Amino acid sequence: MFSKFERLTAWRYLRAKRKEGFISVITGFAFTGIALGVATLIIVMSVMNGFKAELLNRILGINGHISIVASAGFPFNNYKQAVSALESIEGIDLALPMIEKQLLVSSPHGAEGAMVRGIDKADILKKKVMR
């Protein structure tokens, strides 16, 4: 891993001469501080990568990579055939028919727009969309 020259150089500067014992203590504190800082950085980055992966899985659990939407004013009547055709393609894990509508939610304090999505209960139970 390290050459003999690198080990000797590191050993020479990490230990102090006998009359300069305090420098050895300072070196020890600095070495420990750097080691703790690097360890903390590695741990935090690992945890954040795990959170990112989990968040992405949860978002994509209900929102797919692709949405096929009917044109405005034209109903999508043959959605069952489309779902079965999509599921037969290699690499597609899940295809669901979904209804999506906009609505207005009002209260005495104001009104807000919202989006409602509807999925058939059998699809949710059969394919384990929600955990």
Rounded to an integer, the average pLDDT of 11-23 is 69
The one-letter code for the residue type at 33 is G
Q: Indicate left, alpha or beta for 121 from its phi (over 0: left) and psi (-120 to 50: alpha).
A: alpha
- How confident is the model at residue 61, as a pLDDT? 66
Residue-level pLDDT at 109: 93
**Binning pLDDT at 50, 70 and 90, where does residue 94 land?**
confident
Backbone angles phi, psi at 119, to 5 degrees: -125, 140
* Main-chain dihedrals φ then ψ at residue 121, nearest 5 degrees: -60, -35
- Which pLDDT band holds residue 21 (cuts at 50, 70, 90)? low
Per-residue pLDDT at 40: 97
Q: Are 113 and 102 in contact (CB under 8 A)?
A: yes
* Per-residue pLDDT reduced to its tens digit, 49-74: 888 888 877 777 667 778 888 887 78
Give the least confident one: 14-23, 59-68, 74-83, 119-128: 14-23
Domain ranges within the chain, ordered by starting residue: 4-61, 64-127
Residue 87's DSSP bridge partners are none
Distance between CA atoms of 4 and 12, rounded to whole angstroms? 12
DSSP-assigned letters across all residues of the chain: ---HHHHHHHHHHHS--GGGHHHHHHHHHHHHHHHHHHHHHHHHHHHHHHHHHHHHHHHHHHS-S----PPTT---TTHHHHHHHHHTSTT------EEEEEEEEEETTEEEEEEEEEE-HHHHHHHT---
